[in-house]
Structure 1
């Protein structure tokens, strides 16, 4: 299931990088600071979950994001969004009722140790 795959922070980082553009394993390894076998292991898990595709270009392998499984996760999460939205709306209303703090110039601030 994609949730298990996405629980790993490094895999989410890989997806974030691939969201920008396709990349080769060497670039991902360098950017992430992992070993090549470690990066390849994460890419294999992402590929097996359908989140990443591999495109061969002669001797090179380009890894690219496959967003389709993420769309399914997004659809599944849709009914739960009201919980976050209502809390953020409540926070916004609360912040709107708070008085604005007066701005102080640097001259008004005193050192508490004086």
Structure 2
């Protein structure tokens, strides 16, 4: 009887030992989060210039209109000619901006840098 108990005890240890020797799986690392960068506004065109009052009207038809209080650079033939600060949106695609510096003309391009 003692021999049978000893065999059963060794068998139980063997079975438990076999069950716990399986390779432990490593937990998967959490997925990397994609970096989110804000989209830049589109390219606008100067639609109107008022040099006396120091503002321009910018046309962003079919473009993303920039947010207010954003500094924008004005280009003519890919040459920097001035800088404006957006103030408020008048309609869906038009924006008013204060002239900071430069000689800005109708048709100049306006971009966020």
Q: Into which bin does the TM-score normalised by the smaller protein fall?
A: under 0.3
Which has more radius of gyration?
2
Q: TM-score, normalised by structure 2?
A: 0.19
Greater strand proportion: 2
